[in-house]
Structure 1
Amino acid sequence: MRVIEFDYLRAHLSDELRKAYRDDEVTVIAYRDRPIAVLMSHGVWSVGRQANQIPPTLVDEPINSRAARPMLRELRERLDRGRHVTVTVYKDQAVIAPYEWAREAFADLPAFLQLPAVEARGEGSVQIVYRSARMLQKLRAEFEGSEDPEWEMDRRLSAMRSHIPADRRKELRGVVYVESGRVARVRALDPDAEWIDLDERISLAPVSPPLNRKDIDARLPGLGLYPGDQRLAPQGASREYLAF
């Protein structure tokens, strides 16, 4: 299953609609690196509708593809309100459905559609840090001129509104950095090394140099996340914990 950004859909709307209604492709649409919708044929949507019923008030009147293109921003806002949008190309139809609805309607969708538990605990875990293009630009500007800007930004870790708790630090074995929807780097953490708390939220963590695939398998066995892998952020979260 493919994942495309909303801007890509805007530029390739006709092609993406054709893949849905002609080839029955199901495509996840992301906005600012977060999944917001799923594009599918009307037939696939009808199957999902049997599993996860939709109030008629949330099903919009069909619009044709020419009318849809200039109003994609409005359509995105409709999706945020849980509405389902049918786009027609002559007699063919494709549906853009809210992500959350599709995740519940299609239990057999790939794992990245099933939101992971943000507080997963285990004997070993990693923190996954999600950075949008905007956040990445801000961090690069902040550490511009540093000897190793990536290391400076990567070693600064936090929980949502506080330091990472001591018991969590003991569990952490690594950090996965996801930038613009793809794994950029994986670093290991020494659970016995010192953390330095800077303020009420941020700590300097004892992270290793970036790991290659072989290092990841050796130091974080079973993690299964590698640089270049696609991974979308859970809705509303900039970080999560993954037990392995």
Structure 2
Amino acid sequence: MRILMVEDEKYMAEAIEQVLRKNNYSVDLAFDGEYGLDCGLTGIYDMIILDIMLPKIDGISILKELRRNDITTPIILLTAKGETEDKVEGLDCGADDYLAKPFQTEELLARLRALGRRKGKLNHDGIIRFKDIEFNINTLDLRGNDKTFSLTLKEGQLLEILLEHKGMIISTTTIIEKLWGYETDTEDSHVQVYISFLRKKLAQLSSVVKIRTVRGVGYLIATEEDGMKNV
């Protein structure tokens, strides 16, 4: 899951970034509202953590602009303690949740998990199940047919993206943006390498789940019974 955090207090933002990365989230930081809005408008993020008090463009204005542009990414607003008006305005403008500063990182993690469940991205136990496999996004364990493999972070993030959109074609460009960010110089060959790693692990699990290549477009995760062929 890729998260954008828009927060001008760099020490706080970088500390939270470290906590989120330890919990297997990919994180991009923006330290002002203008850059934060540009990042948010790309639509590549699964969650946005957005401070209200920001230089250049405030958080409420960013929120309004994102929703005006049909960006439906779940957004957690960071508000000053006791600022009820900010909370109310933010929720009315389309925020999904809010946290009052200062807050415990455990509470932020809980809010992110709750939003993930609300948007149908994962089950209550952090496990995504499909046919004869299950993937734990917290431990990066892939299980199937009484076998278990521990995935690397990038393998796990790629598998999570595919499973969230099972049966749908995910473009190579989308995968690159979600895994490495939209300013990366990562090439298609990097994705091919990680797809190969996942295919080998699925084969070792003797799973019916396959990762299909749609040439010139991207990939999808499906099964033999779905009748999909490599094209």
Using the size of structure 1 for normalisation, the TM-score is 0.30
| Larger of the two Rg values belongs to structure | 1
Which structure's relative contact order is higher, taking Cα pairs within 8 Å and 6+ residues apart? 1
Structure having the higher helix fraction is 2
